[in-house]
Amino acid sequence: MSNASGVNLHVILWPIQEWPAMGETWRRAEELGFAGAWVYDHLAWRGHAPWDDAYASLAAAAALTQRIRLGTLVTSPNFRTPIPTASMARTIDRISGGRLTLGIGAGGSAHTSDGDVLGRDWTPRERADRFAEWVEQLDALMTTAPVSFDGDHWRGREVNIAPGLVQRRPPYWIAGNGPRGMRLAARLGQGWIANPRGEDHYADTVARIGALTRACEAQGRDPAGLTKLLMTGFGTEPWLTSVEAFEELAGRYAAIGITDIAVHWPRPGTAWEADPATFEAIATHVNGASGG
């Protein structure tokens, strides 16, 4: 059976293992042929500590792998300011030989998304304003040198980060469910990340892709040129129960424009528990890799 859906398959890893075991997981993800391997960028997540830093983890993974793309899912302004973020991204881009993708988003207000480190609850409008400035400054830092900016939240003077990038600028895959986030994705993104909400993830994704299409058209951009990554594992859809179940779901989402799908590395005793053999069978089926 071939990968009839034609989607690219990615994996989300948990930066919680001790090293060097974590390094072996990164290597195994590459062996399984995943298009990309991602880590959530948090200080801690859902009560788990220690939770290793995303950028330090990606730097280590970049040195241990050769082919697989690496990325954050997602980095936000909650505790990352533009200048150090751009510098870290440049370094990982160089170590990896140009394999970094930056998943970025506005972040949330809950402890699980590190929003409470800001010291107060930001309104949705404040969060969107902050994110828009952050993305625009990050873009300037990674494409222009020297660059100066004087924003409402961050300032910089004659900063030199862009020189030395392997990629002209790592691709931005922007997580945006609201209209402003989608406009940013349409204007500055190379990809869009769908993180469905509610009971019916398919219907939610259909509606959001419609909104994204309108945002692209308003920018004069062909929405087909934007990668569309679907995050799975937060609903009831049986993505990792069998190859057949995965293929059926992937085909359904591909038909509405999803190009890429992210699954979680199996994590026993949690909502992301899955049979390792089935997980690897799905990976080898979709990616065309050897089971090893």
**pLDDT of the residue at 210:** 97
Residues 155-212 have pLDDT tens digits of: 999 999 999 999 999 999 999 888 999 999 999 999 999 999 999 999 999 999 999 9
Average pLDDT, the chain: 94
Range scoring the smallest mean pLDDT among 16-20, 100-104, 114-118, 126-130: 114-118
Alpha-carbon distance of 282 to 233, in angstroms, equals 15
**Does residue 43 surpass a pLDDT of 80?**
yes
- 174 within 8 A of 195, measured Cβ to Cβ: no
Joined together, the tokens standing for residue 88 give 């870290």
**Does residue 213 surpass a pLDDT of 70?**
yes
**pLDDT of the residue at 109:** 80
**Does residue 112 surpass a pLDDT of 80?**
no
Domain map (residue ranges) of the chain = 8-287
pTM of the predicted model as reported, rounded to 2 decimal places: 0.95
Q: Which CATH number fits domain 8-287: 3.40.50.300, 3.40.30.10, 3.20.20.30, 1.20.1560.10?
A: 3.20.20.30
